[in-house]
Amino acid sequence: MSGRRALVMGAGGFVGSHLVRRLKSESFAVRGADLKTPEFSPTAADEFLVGDLQNIDFMRQVMDGAFDEVYQLAADMGGAGYIFTGANDADIMSNSALINLNVLQCSKAQPFGRVFYASSACIYPAYNQVNPDDPKTAEATAYPAEPDSEYGWEKLFSERLYLAHARNRGMKVRIARYHNIFGPEGTWQGGREKAPAALCRKVAEISDGGTIEIWGDGEQTRSFLYIEECLEGTVRLMRSDVGEPVNVGSTEMVSINELAMRIAAIAGKSIKIRHIPGPLGVRGRTSDNDLIRQRLGWTPLAPLHTGLEQTYRWILTQVSALRA
Ligand code: NAD
Ligand code: GDD
């Protein structure tokens, strides 16, 4: 490999596989690493190492070489149906923490230009997200900490791990707190899918006038960021001088009922909604973009509708292919 080189850990996942394509479009030589290759299309990486990043020998192999940009996206993650049931807490915490400890352990022998860590909006305190119309997620409100899930606690711990290494070892660390990223080639079935993909699937599966199920009363709120804008925010942050964690998310907050109705409109179907018990997470969440606007002079602006159209179309093809 020659020229600018990037390493993407988690390159077999949703954000990672898109990020590899983005870096290739910028002429980076890219090494990807993951437990698996991407599920929905071939990787664009120049080389792809398959293995477990919890294994320090594999991590050493992955990090061997000089990289201008290292992106650490590998994590044991999923939507509400995976992270809020409680059943996966031990795996989520230990699997993801060990990957991050290994990255930093191996970076002593193999220093890199700069490292990006994908944190989450799930680090924000539950007590600031009880009002669905006015949740608070300014970066400075992360403490006193009270994430509502062990997934959020692990992300907060790992943020601190990277920040400590930045302070004590002069590493250039960049941390994004992603707010519910969605788009084509994201997980859409199997239990780890997030609300946009789950609701696109449910709408795609029914006939006009049919009923879909939604967890809770559907009045809980979220904002959703389309993958292309997530990548733009990610590379802008990586190449900036911003060393503190920054939200990368949308400010277009909608209720989950509203999300379902917007997807139904895109599908050209009228739907009925049945509300059922399920894992809920916080009552309200949206991105606070004051800091990213100040520090990067950029914020995501694309309307939710644009990303939903692309995502629904892709999930419809997946549902149709599965049926066929
Ligand atoms: P994803 O699950 O699609 O990708 C994560 C990848 O990490 C998977 O391909 C998985 O196989 C890999 N991985 C997990 N454990 C591994 C191990 N031990 N060794 C090697 N690879 C391993 O998730 P994503 O949506 O692409 O998310 C990317 C990152 O962004 C994650 O760190 C996630 O926690 C974070 N994040 C994502 C969102 C979102 O809405 N997508 C929101 C907040 C934070
Ligand atoms: N997944 C899913 N599937 N969620 C549903 C469904 C369904 O069928 N029906 C209703 N919901 C509701 C959930 O109960 C939750 O209240 C809301 O939709 C959003 O759920 P998700 O999109 O699954 O997750 P989240 O927004 O609570 O958390 C996600 O975003 C974080 C960052 O903002 C997760 O992906 C986290 O891993 C991520 O860090």
Instruction: Answer yes or no: is the C-beta of 216 below 6 A from any ligand 2 atom.
Output: yes
Catalytic residue among 117, 124, 151, 312: 151
Instruction: Answer yes or no: is the C-beta of 159 below 6 A from any ligand 2 atom.
Output: no
Q: Are residues 155 and 35 in the same domain?
A: yes
Instruction: Answer yes or no: is the C-beta of 83 below 6 A from any ligand 2 atom.
Output: yes
Q: Are residues 144 and 274 in the same domain?
A: no
Instruction: Answer yes or no: is the C-beta of 20 below 6 A from any ligand 1 atom.
Output: no
Output the CA 9–ligand 1 centroid distance in Å: 9
Which residues, including other chains, have CB under 8 Å from residue 107's CB and lie 6 or more apart?
63, 115, 165, 171
Residue 40, domain member (yes or no): yes
Residue 294, domain member (yes or no): no
- CA 120-124-125 angle, to 5 degrees, is 150
Q: Are residues 160 and 174 in the same domain?
A: yes
What pLDDT is stored for residue 109 in this prediction? 82
Output the CA 84–ligand 2 centroid distance in Å: 9
Q: Are residues 174 and 262 in the same domain?
A: no
First to last CA, the chain: 42
Which ligand has an atom closest to residue 92 CA? 1
Which ipTM did the prediction report?
0.99
What pLDDT is stored for residue 1 in this prediction? 45
Domains held by the chain: number: 2
Domain boundaries, position 199: 184-223+252-284+303-318
Output the CA 4–ligand 2 centroid distance in Å: 36
Query: Which residue from 31, 77, 115, 150 has its CB within 8 A of the most atoms of ligand 1, so it is best to mutate?
Result: 77
Residue 193, domain member (yes or no): yes
Instruction: Answer yes or no: is the C-beta of 120 below 6 A from any ligand 2 atom.
Output: yes
Residue 278, domain member (yes or no): yes
Three-state SS for the chain is CCCCEEEEECCCCHHHHHHHHHHHHCCCEEEEEECCCCCCCCCCCCEEEECCCCCHHHHHHHHCCCCCEEEECCCCCCCHHHHCCCCCHHHHHHHHHHHHHHHHHHCCCCCCCCEEEEEEHHHCCHHHCCCCCCCCCCHHHHCCCCCCCHHHHHHHHHHHHHHHHHHHHCCCEEEEEECCEECCCCCCCCCCCCHHHHHHHHHHHCCCCCEEEEECCCCCEECCEEHHHHHHHHHHHHCCCCCCCEEECCCCCEEHHHHHHHHHHHHCCCCEEEEECCCCCCCCCCCCCHHHHHHHCCCCCCCHHHHHHHHHHHHHHHHHHHHC
Q: Are residues 10 and 114 in the same domain?
A: yes
Q: Are residues 72 and 125 in the same domain?
A: yes
Q: Which atom of ligand 1 is found nearest the CA of 181? A: 40
Amino acid at 287: S
Residue 290, domain member (yes or no): no
Instruction: Answer yes or no: is the C-beta of 99 below 6 A from any ligand 1 atom.
Output: yes
Q: Are residues 107 and 204 in the same domain?
A: no
Tell me the C-alpha to C-alpha distance, in Å, between residue 4 and each of 7, 28, 69, 243. Answer: 10, 5, 8, 22
Which ligand has an atom closest to residue 182 CA? 1
Residue 293, domain member (yes or no): no
Which ligand has an atom closest to residue 287 CA? 2
Q: Are residues 242 and 204 in the same domain?
A: no
Known active-site residue 151: yes
Residue 323, domain member (yes or no): no
Q: Are residues 276 and 167 in the same domain?
A: no
Q: Are residues 239 and 100 in the same domain?
A: yes
Q: Are residues 312 and 175 in the same domain?
A: no
Nearest alpha carbon, ligand 2 atom 38:
180
Report the CATH number that the domain containing residue 103 is assigned in CATH: 3.40.50.720
Residue 146, domain member (yes or no): yes
Instruction: Answer yes or no: is the C-beta of 31 below 6 A from any ligand 2 atom.
Output: no
Nearest alpha carbon, ligand 2 atom 35:
79
Report the CATH number that the domain containing residue 267 is assigned in CATH: 3.90.25.10
Q: Are residues 206 and 77 in the same domain?
A: no
Per-residue pLDDT of the chain (324 residues; tens, 9 = 90+): 459 999 999 999 999 999 999 999 999 999 999 999 999 999 999 999 999 999 999 999 999 999 999 999 999 999 999 999 999 999 999 999 999 999 999 998 877 789 999 999 999 999 999 999 999 999 999 999 999 999 999 999 999 999 999 999 999 999 999 999 999 999 999 999 999 999 999 999 999 999 999 999 999 999 999 999 999 999 999 999 999 999 999 999 999 999 999 999 999 999 999 999 999 999 999 999 999 999 999 999 999 999 999 999 999 999 999 999
